[in-house]
Homo-oligomer: A and B are copies of this chain.
């Protein structure tokens, strides 16, 4: 019985318009953190934090210790972004990342985790639709009032 299911504002704000505002720089396979920032829209802080909490599958480093992300990392961040959009708790994503690291014998549990989440997403879609009905109803009332006061109905 508690809170917690967020979809970052940032995500909502950016989702359609600046999606892929920077296409993936093809084929280099060793991206700096700021390139990944441009690509994903996440902040560098957040990327480092993801790593700290175990949400990234071991990011490579340059000889001086700077992060170098691969195409595989970007693919992973795409998936994480999708899951995040649906409000999957970070803890669940970390669990999934853990399973991926553990190897093929965790396939069953991964499937189960994703299936459960899919059910959740379906339920949420249904909830949102039912809210849309309420919004439509309310908005219709206000719109009717506005049209009336604008004189459209006063002929």
Chain A residues engaging chain B, CB cutoff 8 angstroms: 1-10, 12-13, 15-16, 43, 79, 82-83, 85-87, 107-108, 110-111, 114-115, 117-118, 120-125, 127-132, 134-136, 138-139, 142-143, 145-146
Question: Given that A1-B43, A135-B121 are contacting pairs, would A86 and B16 also be in contact in the complex, using a CB cutoff of 8 Å?
Answer: no
A82: which B residues are within 8 A, CB to CB? 130-131, 134
Q: Is the interface of A mostly helix, strand, loop or mixed?
A: helix
Number of copies of this chain that the complex holds: 2
A135–B3 Cα distance when bound, in Å, is: 24
Is the CB–CB distance between B132 and A122 below 8 Å? yes
A124: which B residues are within 8 A, CB to CB? 7, 12, 128
Is the CB–CB distance between B143 and A118 below 8 Å? no
Residue on B nearest A115 in the bound complex, by CB: B139
Residue on B nearest A117 in the bound complex, by CB: B135
